[in-house]
Amino acid sequence: MESKENAPEFKKNFQVFRFIGGNLVSFFGDQVYLIALPLIVLAITGSPLSMGIVAALEKLPILIQPFTGVLADNYNRKKILLFCDLGRFLTVGLLGFFYIINTLTIWEIYGGALIVGLLTQVYNTCQFASVPKLVQKKDLQLVNSINTGVFQTAVFVAPGLGGILISIFNPGIGLIINSFSFLVGFIVILSLNIDSNIQKDTMTSTKMFIEIKEGFKFVLRVKPILYSNLAMLFSIFGTTLFLTMLVIHLKSTAHFDATQIGYLLSIGGVAAIGGALTTSWLKQHFSYRIILFSAGVLGGGSIIGFVVYDSFLWLAVMNAVGAVSAAIMTPCIVTIRQNLSPNHLLGRVQATSRFMTWFLMPVSALVAGLVAEQFGTTLTILVGGIIATGASFIYLHPSLKKA
């Protein structure tokens, strides 16, 4: 993988600082959105199944991930990122505005969720492929860890503040906040000197499928990427069962209000910041195999622990353990892919990996809604935790010891 070796040293790399700062704002908005949207769906329909459908639609564009990789590897990444941020700013902002004036319908939420999901999939693939061009190769693990730490900082700060704002004003305000975070992201991307990949030849359908096939062949050949993807496939299925019903569970089963939900999610972010920032230290002492397996077992176990008691303190601790695990695993997975992928395949490797690990997410989200509608959120979360814990054993494959 070819990082931009002529990029400044990390301490003087102001482009990376702007990139991380823009992500902080975007992550902040996303955390408020994760509280506001389920509350809006629950207020309009009163049905866990409706939230399952919304989550499934938002994740359905995962199925086009291989095509987003071709886009990222052949077209102007900066223009794609700008288009996605602008589109999400308008879509989420309109949903929030319509809810505030009391005209929002569940069908508009379905449509908005699908659009946001599509733009997010394209954006994430292009952003992943752009990062190595902003930093030196030796700084990749550090930047990925800091970026994850920034995400967890948002998880710490945003839900608490968002829950208070939603309680005082309106869940629609939460969507408006998320909308403006995309506008900030647009401005930040506009200021970055991201290398552009301009497609010079006509992209025919045949050429596109050849390039998609190239991405799949590479992932299947490189065992650390392949087996980490297989582990994540099952882990994400279980985690999606949990996350789809999390806010609904806290609201309808644990009987928390928006402020309590926000505080609970924020507490998890405190520990997760430390988890993300210790990943580089862990890598100096342990293999990716040990780190991913241990974090996976802890994360899956925390989901199971979520259904044991419903006190605020217990749920906050379980959420913190799960957040720490995710914060440790994410930069490891990202760095494995970036280190083992050549630059001309970065977008396709990321897109192919996301397709392989996420293509069951729409199914999982819909299953979460169906099971919760019939049997309650507690059973849904328990099943999710068991599946996520079992998936961790795939990380013990020998190839990850040397990754």
> What token pair was written down for 199?
């497609």
325 exposed, middle or buried (CB, 10 Å; 0-12, 13-18, 19+)?
Answer: buried
Is 274 in contact with 326 (CB distance < 8 Å)? Answer: no
Beta strands, E only, 172-305: none
Q: Measured between alpha carbons, how far is 117 from 5 in angstroms, rounded to an integer?
A: 34
Q: Let me know the angle formed at the C-alpha of 311 by 308 and 313, rounded to the nearest 5 degrees.
A: 105
Q: Measured between alpha carbons, how far is 241 from 2 in angstroms, rounded to an integer?
A: 37
Can you tell me whether residue 351 is helix, strand or coil? Answer: helix
pLDDT at residue number 1: 44
**Which residue in 211, 226, 197, 201 sits closest to 130, CA to CA?**
197
- Tens of pLDDT, residue by residue over 268-295, are 767 667 777 787 788 888 888 999 999 9
pLDDT at residue number 2: 44
pLDDT at residue number 309: 86
**Which residue in 190, 193, 197 sits closest to 126, CA to CA?**
197
pLDDT at residue number 303: 95
pLDDT at residue number 3: 45
Q: Measured between alpha carbons, how far is 61 from 30 in angstroms, rounded to an integer?
A: 18
Assess whether pLDDT exceeds 70 at residue 375: yes
- Tens of pLDDT, residue by residue over 150-159, are 666 665 566 6
Q: Which residue has the higher pLDDT, 265 or 91?
A: 91
Is 27 in contact with 330 (CB distance < 8 Å)? Answer: no
Is 6 in contact with 134 (CB distance < 8 Å)? Answer: no
Q: Which residue has the higher pLDDT, 89 or 49?
A: 89
Percent of the chain with pLDDT over 70: 87
Q: Measured between alpha carbons, how far is 302 from 384 in angstroms, rounded to an integer?
A: 11
pLDDT at residue number 86: 94
Mapping DSSP onto H, E and C, the string for 99-157 reads: HHCCCCCHHHHHHHHHHHHHHHHHHHHHHHHHHHHCCCHHHHHHHHHHHHHHHHHHHHH
Is 27 in contact with 158 (CB distance < 8 Å)? Answer: yes
Provide the pLDDT confidence category of residue 166 given band limits of 50, 70 and 90: confident
- Please name the CATH architecture into which domain 10-401 falls: Up-down Bundle (1.20)
Q: Measured between alpha carbons, how far is 214 from 346 in angstroms, rounded to an integer?
A: 11
- Tens of pLDDT, residue by residue over 125-163, are 887 777 777 777 677 667 777 766 666 666 556 666 677
Q: Measured between alpha carbons, how far is 127 from 347 in angstroms, rounded to an integer?
A: 9
Provide the pLDDT confidence category of residue 104 given band limits of 50, 70 and 90: very high
Provide the pLDDT confidence category of residue 232 given band limits of 50, 70 and 90: very high
pLDDT at residue number 150: 66
**Which residue in 376, 268, 273 sits closest to 312, CA to CA?**
268
- Quick count: other Cβ atoms within 10 Å of Cβ 180? 15
pLDDT at residue number 155: 57
Q: How far is CA 327 from CA 155, 315, 371, in A?
A: 11, 18, 28
Look over the chain and give the mean of its residue pLDDT values, rounded to a whole number.
84
- Tens of pLDDT, residue by residue over 28-78, are 788 788 788 888 998 898 888 888 898 889 888 888 878 887 777 778 888
pTM above 0.85, yes or no: no
Arithmetic mean of pLDDT, 3-30: 72
Arithmetic mean of pLDDT, 4-25: 71
Give me the residue spans of the domains in the chain: 10-401
